Structure 1
Amino acid sequence: MSFDEVLDRIGGFGRFQKTLYVWICLPQIFLAFHMLVSVFTGAVPPHLCRSSQPVGDPRLLGLNNSNASWETCSSLQNVQLYQLNHSDLSLPISEHSTTSKSCKGGWEFSKDVFLSTVVTEWDLVCENATLNNIGSSIYMFGLLVGAVLFGALADKYGRRTIILIGLAAQVIFGVGAAFAPNFYIYVMLRFVVGMTVSAVIMNAFVLGTEWTGPKQRMLAGVITDYFFGFGYILLAGVAYLIPDWRKLQLAISAPGFLFLFYIWVLPESARWLMANQKHEEALDLIRKAALINGKPLDDDDIELFQSLKNVEKLEDQRKYTVIDLVRTPTMRKQSLILFYLWFVNVLVYYGLSLNISDFGMNIYLTQMIFGLVEMPARTVTLFTLNRSRRISQLAFLATGGLACLLTTFIPDDLSAVRTALAMVGKFGITASLSIVYIYSAEVFPTVIRQNGIGMGSMCARAGGVIAPVIYLLRDSSHHAPMVVFGLCTLIGAVLTMFLPETAHKPLPDTIEDVERTDDSEA
């Protein structure tokens, strides 16, 4: 008897699993906070430099010191480059250049929207502006390190243990970041928070999947995505109420202490316990789940326990490695395409999510709209996936890529139109990101499925690391980041055509199955 048959006997998605998903989903809200808070804590308010040359009007910033004179990044290089008309208060007040001289007189930042950000506290503008983007990339690199480290530790010590460690470390280092004495320690603490986000996201998903019956797994996975989207939306309101970055960082981190009670309510994966020869503990949990689901086990079901002792033992004893993902022609082609899809989906998802200020509308409103888009984007995949995995993936990638490219043709003064197009792009890429998880699990054969998903996840995190860096291209062209996002996504749409259709087809078990299927289709 397989473990899936055991779940069918005790209930694949009964009261026990629904309660488990409550515990799994609640942290997703705070994970969204940590993933996206840099939109606000790292925001760059309008700013001018106090200088000795009278080139500007301090009233543009709402400052009271009428005796001051002001320069922008560009005018520090050439004071004649940016002469402000004192009678026209509608002119832009912020320019960026990584080649400007230092601001000797000190920077002054507008406080119309933010009381403080990491940028205003540590003057991360002009020649220091790149530090802000690099800080975001280092956080994303923490996600990559966490995925590798905590994935291996979870296989050794259990999903529950790593989730609890991740939640504890997240609150400690998250609160610590709110009191960071300088930018470098702040980035280091955020790096550790990124590691813990991976630990919780990855193992919560696995824990839920391993307790859920096959028929409900896709829907159960989408439920966690909805809570992440809810956190996405909620962050806009929290940030609006708390415009000081240190207080905001504290507000999204300190509530994590409430998850202390997970020590008593979060169960371990019975499937993992069986795979690690902890049969008695697994049986106790199975009996508890069956009782809560209203399907208690009787004495005859002890045979079920005996048969479970062989669960998770592969019939094929050969050890497979990541090399097998690229060893044969068809498997190599499909693996490389899927790795690229993981990379580009996360690249564009966070590229759009972390730089919403570029679209010219109110940053809080844009954040809320982008969060709201997540809900229908994830919902629509439930209806399209059953028709075709390949066409769904291709269509949503094409939608996202074309929308990104079209934003480059919209004038800056039509910010509402640019935001609407960016929202369409976010819709497409969010839906595509939801699909690639399922599609990958069906393309990779059973013997290397875990290796394939693991490598795909690493490529995704690499996309997250690069996403903030792409915005450094704005120094050469304002539209360059969106052109890169659009073209990369469209390339992914074209490559998707070379993947097999997996809807309503049996999953491949071996690499030979993959090669044989490709030959038959040819």
Structure 2
Amino acid sequence: MELKKVDEVVKVSIGESLSELVSGFGRYQVWQSFLALIPVVCTAMSNTNFVFAAAAVNYRCAVPECELANASSGLPNWWPVNVTDYRCSRPVLNNTCITKDINNYENCDEWIYETNNSIVAEFGLACQEWKRTLVGTVHNLGVLISMPLMGFISDRFGRRKAIIISGLSLSLGAFKTLSGAGLNGYVTYICIEFLEAVLVTGTYTSCFVLIVELIGSDKRIIGAAAVGISVAVGELILDLIVWYIPYWRNFLLIIYCPVPIFLFYTYLLEESMRWLLINGKNYEALALLQKISRWNQFAISDKVIDDINTESKTTNVVNKETFTVKLLFTSTALLKRVVICSWWWFTAAFVYYGLMINSVSLPGNKNANFALSSFATIPGDIIAVITLDRFGRKKTLFWGFLFCGLCCVTNGFIQDYKIASLVVFLIGKTSISACFNAVYVYTSELVPTSARGSLVGTCSMLARVGTVLAPLTPLLRDLWHSLPTTLFGCASLSAAVLTLATPETLRKPLPDTVAEATAMS
């Protein structure tokens, strides 16, 4: 990097331009981005382990007086004919072994499980499906709190501290393995699951922001794709672990083993240059600049050092108006845009996590299906990187939601055809993954700079509502086996239609004020 370029950049603005100067893909950025992606992989394992730990298992009512020593969950020969409610009803005994009266039965109080690999067996959750699915809902309620909480910590105390706190908080998950049997164990498990989600899942946002600030805001699409692929990698690693170590207490202990790595992040991971400058930490910024110059082998002029030393606080040159809720309601176009973006975010999260959770219910091996579902995220992220800048934000989002919606609705009617059902399901998962990347970029370009943080944050909060509802969708199978995927399809199709009401933002300058954002219509 030439010294002359450094001088020219500093003349514009210390805070904004210097952070852009040290961004890119040098050795320093590659190493720091790698460090920032490790917590994303670990968080992905933490964020989805309940899919296996609280997975549904086959079971039937036990009749101790008639059971053999090694009784299975399959129906025995002596079970009354035509009694289909074998899970929650206990036939009443007669003088021999079992009654022949199919109407003579009572509520079951003891069960035989196919496996103890899930908490269902150890916590006695048979015939209480709502308690099993509540695990995912409670987890995602924690995620709902985690996003704004860790976002605040990231803005107030720094990206690095937020990432380290979240990384070390992963250790909480290991305490779930200490939960005893029965109701008390279930309550303990649920409480730890919630606390873990609150302190850990905000890592996604903190790491994404740090990576974008490392490689430059103009490369935010690549940053989003890197985080998305890392999430998929984490899910695939989790699936591989569960495949070979299916017992829930054992695989939970293994996925939390990387926690000690984050003790070293105090020395390995550096703070964001942009955050240091914006918060007036100029001396720390100077030290970091010198370190980056050594890593990336470029010189620092004396003028740059003098400007940083004399600049007491970086100012934001684009803050042209103070945004208020009242100002939002003065623009019908912007208000409509925020409502549409909120539905996009909700739909993307609801469908993405809903498909992931329901993947274990597809025909075939649940581990293989989950792995394929996670792997489908990667081409979705790559497609988003290619199409967002080539065909535009609007077309990418429209076709992504449309394909996903059509695939989900179709899947509901072809589930008897295993291969076709799986292929269509995976195309839908790939499509919604591309939408997830597109939604973040497109939303940030549709709203003004004066309100970008608050409005994107509001949309993200609504997305978490989708993640809270997603774990409950397997319950809908009791009403109609295709109802969950049909619901996902309808949500996606409605989101696709709403994209027609928004303007294209490709190669257009970011709006700074409400007036500029409105003019985009």
TM-score with structure 2 length normalisation?
0.88
Matches within 5 A, 1:11-26: 11-26=23-38
| Structure-2 change in CA distance of 1:76 and 1:153 (3 Å) | closer
Match of 1:409 among 413, 417, 422: 413
- Residue of structure 2 equivalent to 1:426: 429
1:29 alignment counterpart: 41
In structure 2, give the amino acid aligned to 1:42: A
Amino acid at match of 1:197: V
Query: Is residue 2:495 matched to residue 1:492?
Result: yes
User: Is residue 270–residue 282 contact of structure 1 (8 Å, CA) maintained in 2?
Assistant: yes
Question: Structure 1 residues 466 and 312 mapped into 2: Cα distance closer, same or farther (>3 Å)?
Answer: farther
Residue of structure 1 in register with 2:5 after alignment:
none
**CA displacement at 1:312 relative to structure 2:** 4.4
Partner of 2:384: 381
When structure 1 is superposed on structure 2, of 315-324 and 331-340 the one drifting more is 315-324
2:367 corresponds to which of 364, 388, 393: 364
Query: Amino acid of the residue matched to residue 482 of structure 2?
Result: H
Q: How does 1:428-467 map to 2 (within 5 A)?
A: 428-467=431-470
**CA displacement at 1:244 relative to structure 2:** 0.5
Change (3 A) 1:468 1:324: farther
CA-to-partner distance for each residue in 1:353-398, whole Å, 9 max, x for gaps? 0122221210111111112211111111122111211011010101
Corresponding residue SS for 1:254: coil
RMSD: 2.8
Map 1:79-478 → 2, pairs under 5 A: 102-104=107-109, 106-111=110-115, 115-126=116-127, 128-171=128-171, 173-181=172-180, 182-305=185-308, 309=312, 311-314=314-317, 316=319, 318-322=321-325, 324-386=327-389, 387-412=391-416, 414-478=417-481
Distance in 2 of aligned mates of 1:513 and 1:38: 45
Structure 1 unmatched runs, 5+? 81-99
**8 A Cα contact 2:23 2:214, kept in partner:** no
Q: For residues 26-62 of structure 1, what are the alpha-carbon distances to aligned partners after superposition, in whole Å with 9 as ceiling and x for unaligned?
A: 1222111112212211111221111379899x87647
- Displacement of 1:448: 0.7
Contact 1:321 1:451 in 2 (8 A): no
Deviations 1:287-309 (A, max 9, x none): 21122111131322224426865
Q: Report if aligned partners of 2:25, 2:215 keep a CA contact under 8 Å in 1.
A: yes
User: Whole-Å Cα distance in 2 between the matches of residues 464 and 72 of structure 1?
Assistant: 34
Q: Distance in 2 between matches of 1:323 and 1:358?
A: 47
Compared CA separation, residues 69 and 200, structure 1 to 2 (3 A)? farther
Deviation at 1:150, TM superposition (A): 1.7
- Counterpart for residue 88 of structure 1: none
What are the superposed Cα offsets for residues 184-233 of structure 1, whole Å, 9 maximum, x if unpaired?
A: 11111111121223331111111122222234332233222222111122
Work out whether residues 13 and 213 of structure 1, in 8 Å CA contact, stay in contact via their aligned partners in 2: no
Could you tell me whether the CA contact under 8 Å between 2:321 and 2:450 is conserved in 1?
no
* Contact 1:178–1:246, Cα closer than 8 Å, also in 2: yes
AA at the equivalent of 2:34? V
- Mark the CA change 1:271 to 1:76 in structure 2 (over 3 Å): closer, same or farther: closer
Corresponding residue SS for 1:477: coil
SS in 1 for 2:61: strand
1:426 CA displacement: 0.5
CA-CA distance at 1:247 after TM superposition: 0.8
In structure 2, what residue type is equivalent to 1:162?
A
Q: TM-score, normalised by structure 1?
A: 0.87
Residue pair 1:147, 1:198 contacting (<8 A) in 2 also: yes
Aligned to 1:399, the other structure's residue is in SS state: helix
Structure 2: how far apart are the matches of 1:22 and 1:391? 31
Q: Which moved more, 1:452-461 or 1:221-230?
A: 221-230
The answer to whether the Cα contact below 8 Å between 1:51 and 1:69 also exists between their aligned partners in 2 is: no
Deviates more, 1:357-366 or 1:207-216: 207-216
Q: Kindly indicate whether the alpha-carbon contact (under 8 Å) linking 1:48 and 1:72 is maintained by their aligned counterparts in 2.
A: no
The alignment partner of 2:202 has SS state of helix
C-alpha spacing 1:183/1:310, structure 2 compared with 1 (3 Å): same
Q: Distance in 2 between matches of 1:323 and 1:146?
A: 27
Does 1:41 find its partner at 2:50? no
How has the CA–CA distance of structure 1 residues 20 and 140 changed in structure 2, closer, same or farther, with 3 Å as cutoff?
A: same
